[in-house]
């Protein structure tokens, strides 16, 4: 644009000078230096207009993608609410309308408890991500010495609804008696979200590995799966609020796009960091959460 303008300005110099002399002779350049100054001013102004246009375009693109992600989020949340609610409704309707053997009643009630827990988890995810997004501190009140193996097992218990044979799928490599001094909530939140994803984005029965690598100044929690993997584009975006990859949406894998945002902001709040590696789609993924010692 700038080059075209310079060529046009030089080519039409005579006509421009004629026009300027008719309109206002004071505008006429008196020597070659003022012509160069005029060209430089023109280049600067054109560059600023160009940069402004690019900035507006990028901002517009970002807004469009954010609106799209928020629409996806609303529809995922609606779906995530409707499924367990419909199941609880059906269970209670059956319990009140029919005389069922005690065993069946117990089964229906325990299925409802699983659905209610799923609803509680969803509401908690939304509340937590909103608090973290506003920069509110959440991990100062529960600092203690935590037995890591126990913490991993407790988190796995809460994920049983994803697969009743979870214990057979997940390999835990944690040195005997390993401890970490820090926030229990932060550790649970990070472990819970990383493990849930590793299970959700792997084929059924696909193995998942959790290992602990303790160094002098930090503790790495490594969660590795052999599932869907991540493209280069996804690796850059998965920690953003609401982001879900096409892989997840096209396969209708349930989720809201909040889990990894929670992991990233939690790690930032406690002074740690999270990284991801994957050789590509279908190649599995490895997440490393580095907790400060
Ligand atoms: P959700 O799982 O609810 O969609 P997350 O924020 O936890 O939200 O994850 C964001 C996206 O990152 C997911 O939609 C998925 O596409 C991708 N992702 C996360 N973990 C994995 C994983 N272990 N393997 C492949 N893709 C993953």
Q: What is the pLDDT of residues 109-130, one digit of tens each?
A: 999 998 999 899 999 999 999 9
Check whether 153 has a pLDDT greater than 90. yes
List alpha helices for the chain, DSSP H: 2-11, 13-23, 32-97, 102-133, 148-158, 166-169, 184-200, 232-237, 246-250, 259-269
Ligand 1 atom index nearest CA of 229? 25
Quote the CA–CA distance of 262 and 233 in Å, as a whole number.
20
Is there a contact between 40 and 5 (Cβ–Cβ < 8 Å)?
Answer: no
> Cα-flanking dihedrals φ and ψ of residue 290, to 5°?
-100, 110
Average pLDDT, the chain: 90
What is the 257 CA–ligand 1 centroid distance (Å)?
A: 7
Ligand 1 atom nearest the C-alpha of 246 is 16
How high is the pLDDT of residue 27?
66
Poorest-pLDDT segment among 55-59, 137-141, 195-199, 258-262? 137-141
Residue 56's pLDDT band (cuts 50, 70, 90): very high
- What contacts 71, CB < 8 A, 6 or more positions away? none
What pLDDT score does 2 carry?
A: 73
Q: pLDDT per residue over 165-209, tens digit each?
A: 888 999 999 998 899 999 999 999 999 999 999 999 999 889 999
Q: How far is CA 76 from CA 114, 123, 129, in A?
A: 19, 13, 16
The minimum-distance atom of ligand 1 relative to the CA of 262 is 6
Main-chain phi, psi angles of 214, to 5 degrees: -95, 125
CATH 3.30.565.10 at 143-292, yes or no: yes
Tell me the C-alpha distance between 266 and 273, whole Å: 9
Query: With a 6 A CB cut-off, is 191 part of the ligand 1 pocket?
Result: no
Q: What is the model's pLDDT at position 29?
A: 65
CA atoms within 13 A on the CB side of 224: 13
Domain with CATH 3.30.565.10 in the chain: 143-292
What residue spans in the chain does CATH classification 1.10.287 cover? 76-133
Radius of gyration of the chain measured on its C-alpha atoms = 29
State the pLDDT at residue 28. 66
Residue nearest to atom 19 of ligand 1 (CA): 197
**For ligand 1, is residue 122 a contact (CB within 6 Å)?**
no
- Does ligand 1 come within 6 angstroms of the Cβ of 183? no
Q: Whose CA is nearest to atom 20 of ligand 1?
A: 197
Q: What is the mean pLDDT of residues 95-102?
A: 89
% residues pLDDT > 70 (the chain):
98
Helical packing angle, 32-97 and 102-133, nearest 10°: 160
Query: Is the Cβ–Cβ distance between 212 and 175 less than 8 Å?
Result: yes
First vs last C-alpha separation in the chain? 55
Question: With bands split at pLDDT 50, 70 and 90, how would you rate the model's confidence at 30?
Answer: low
Mean pLDDT in residue range 240-268: 92
State the CATH architecture for 76-133.
Orthogonal Bundle (1.10)
Q: Is the pLDDT of residue 90 over 80?
A: yes
Nearest atom (ligand 1) to Cα of 244: 14
């Amino acid at each position: 644009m700038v080059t075209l303008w310079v060529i046009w300005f030089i080519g039409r110099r005579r006509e421009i000078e004629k026009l300027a002399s008719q309109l206002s002779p004071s505008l006429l350049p008196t020597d070659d230096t003022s012509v160069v100054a005029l060209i430089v001013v023109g280049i600067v102004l054109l560059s600023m207009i160009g940069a402004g246009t690019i900035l507006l375009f990028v901002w517009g693109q970002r807004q469009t993608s954010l609106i799209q992600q928020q629409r996806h989020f609303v529809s995922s949340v609606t779906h995530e609410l409707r499924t367990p609610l419909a199941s609880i409704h059906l269970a209670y309707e059956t319990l009140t309308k029919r005389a069922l053997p005690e065993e069946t009643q117990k089964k229906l009630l325990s299925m409802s408890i699983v659905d209610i827990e799923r609803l509680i988890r969803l509401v908690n995810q939304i509340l937590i991500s909103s608090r973290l997004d506003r920069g509110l501190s959440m991990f100062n009140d529960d600092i203690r010495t935590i037995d890591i193996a126990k913490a991993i097992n407790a988190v796995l218990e809460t994920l049983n609804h994803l697969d009743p044979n979870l214990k057979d799928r997940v390999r835990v490599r944690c040195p005997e008696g390993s401890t970490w001094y820090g926030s229990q909530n932060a550790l649970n939140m990070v472990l819970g979200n990383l493990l849930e994803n590793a299970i959700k984005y792997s084929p059924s029965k696909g193995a998942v590995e959790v290992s602990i690598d303790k160094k002098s100044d930090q503790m790495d929690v490594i969660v590795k799966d052999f599932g869907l993997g991540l493209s280069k584009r996804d690796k850059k975006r998965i920690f953003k609020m609401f982001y879900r990859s096409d892989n997840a949406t096209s396969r209708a894998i349930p989720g809201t796009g909040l889990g990894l945002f929670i992991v990233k902001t939690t790690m930032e709040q406690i002074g740690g960091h999270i990284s991801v590696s994957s050789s590509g789609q279908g190649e599995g993924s490895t997440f490393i959460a580095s907790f400060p010692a």
